[in-house]
Copies of this chain bind each other. A is one copy, B any other.
Amino acid sequence: MARATYHHGDLGPALIAAARRLVERAGPSGATVRAIAREADVTPAAPYHHFANRDAILASLATDGFAELGAAMQRAADRAPTGQALRRLQGAGVAYVRFAVRNPGLFRLMFSGMLTDRSTYPDLQQSATEAFRVLQHLLGDARDTDRGALPHPAALAAWSTVHGLAMLLIEGRLGEPPSERRAIRMARDVTRVLGVGLRTFAGSPSS
């Protein structure tokens, strides 16, 4: 059986793409190094040229996921006029929920807690922090939250709301299947409620 061959530098991305397909099909537990190699059509040993182990592959995938999520939020926000802060934030919130519904396996992995060890995966933490900062910037609150202080209530409320809706949707708690259209309607609803609260709190200091 012929194996796929990759130029130096292409194998890493091919393995990440294979892991992503597996995570969507079978969850993180289905994405073993062996299964990833098979999915990428390389020898079982090939992944170890690029990654120390399975968790390193999944951490790299989750890092990409946070970058993609942050970029999707930013693009959605930028489609609303500059002056309309709440419309921009709502766009980002809807994009967050849409990302989760389109990529439930990846989204679960990104927030699964199995990869939250800061010292082992600094790139992942950085990528996650940057995605959160998109929300913070949209709220006009660019303070660094990575220093032990509590996040600003408005930023924390915004993140919690879209994250909670995303999780409830992809785990089937709001009816199955979570159609994208229905998910987006719900995301508009909750970000509208949230927006009214944010209008009051976004400028105020944390208590």
* Residues of A that sit less than 8 Å from B by CB: 29, 111-113, 116, 118, 128, 148, 150-151, 153-154, 156-157, 159-168, 170-176, 182, 185-186, 188-190, 192-201, 206-207
Contacts and interface: CB of A to CB of B under 8 A. Distances in A.
A162 B156 CA distance: 11
B111 A171 contact: yes
25 contacts: A111-B167, A111-B171, A112-B171, A113-B170, A116-B172, A118-B176, A150-B185, A151-B174, A153-B190, A153-B192, A153-B193, A156-B190, A157-B190, A157-B194, A160-B164, A161-B164, A161-B194, A162-B164, A164-B164, A164-B166, A164-B167, A189-B207, A193-B194, A193-B197, A196-B199
B156 A160 contact: no
A150 to B, nearest CB: 6
A189 to B, nearest CB: 4
A189 B116 contact: no
Given A150-B186, A157-B161, A164-B166, 20 more contacts: A111-B173, A113-B172, A116-B171, A150-B182, A153-B190, A153-B192, A154-B193, A156-B174, A156-B186, A157-B189, A157-B190, A159-B164, A160-B163, A160-B168, A161-B161, A189-B207, A193-B200, A194-B194, A196-B196, A197-B198
A190 B159 CA distance: 10
A34 B164 CA distance: 34
A162 B160 contact: yes
A157 B193 contact: yes
A171 B201 contact: no
